[in-house]
Amino acid sequence: MTRTLTRTYDNYETARSVVEQLESAGVSSNDISVVGRAGSADETNATEGAGIGAGIGGAAGLLAGIGMLAIPGIGPVVAAGWLASTAAGAVAGAAAGGLVGSFVKEGHDQEEAHYYAETVRRGGSVISVRTEPEHEATVQAILDGATPIDRVVREAEYRAGGWERFDENAGPYRPPIV
């Protein structure tokens, strides 16, 4: 039975490295999905999409097909795989759920889905991998080897700041000035 493993990372560069490691280990690019912030993406180039993979991702596999899209409540992100397809379809069709709906459709509960979407909103990246039981240990080792964000700790930080759940109508995230 196929299982989906999902991890969050503080930056796109780490996520990109994890995707490269997964593909090097033989995980099909069809089984990997990534969504996150990369560099200086802004609203003016959020619809470019085609060809961005070679510039920021790489020349082969999943990263070659990476594109940009604007997600309500998050803004421009780089994305590839089924999460990108589902979120883009939801955005294009004005369907409820957007990125949260993509995670729920993939088998995550609402609480996890809201955390993942908020992490992307705040500049992080999310990788989801569909894997068969015989490959699960390898995939998990790669995902965890890149030091993913500790969800319990990060979610507590979000909640301490007043966050309850992802809001697709919220403005762009601005970190507090310290």
pLDDT, tens digit, for every residue of 68-80?
Answer: 777 776 777 888 8
Kindly list the distances between the CA atom of residue 6 and the CA atoms of 71, 165, 176, in Å, as whole numbers in the listed order: 19, 18, 27
Distance (Å, whole) CA 156 – CA 149: 12
Q: Per-residue pLDDT tens for 94-151? A: 334 578 888 888 889 999 999 999 999 999 999 999 999 999 999 999 999 999 999 9
Tokens of 144: 């965890």
Q: Per-residue pLDDT tens for 20-34? A: 999 999 999 999 999
pLDDT, residue 14, reads: 95
Q: Which of 40-49, 109-118, 126-135, 165-174 has the lowest mean pLDDT?
A: 40-49
Nearest Cα residue to 172 out of 69, 88, 76? 76
pLDDT, residue 51, reads: 39
Kindly tell me if the per-residue pLDDT of 65 is higher than 50.
yes
Average pLDDT of 157-172? 89
Average pLDDT of 6-28? 95
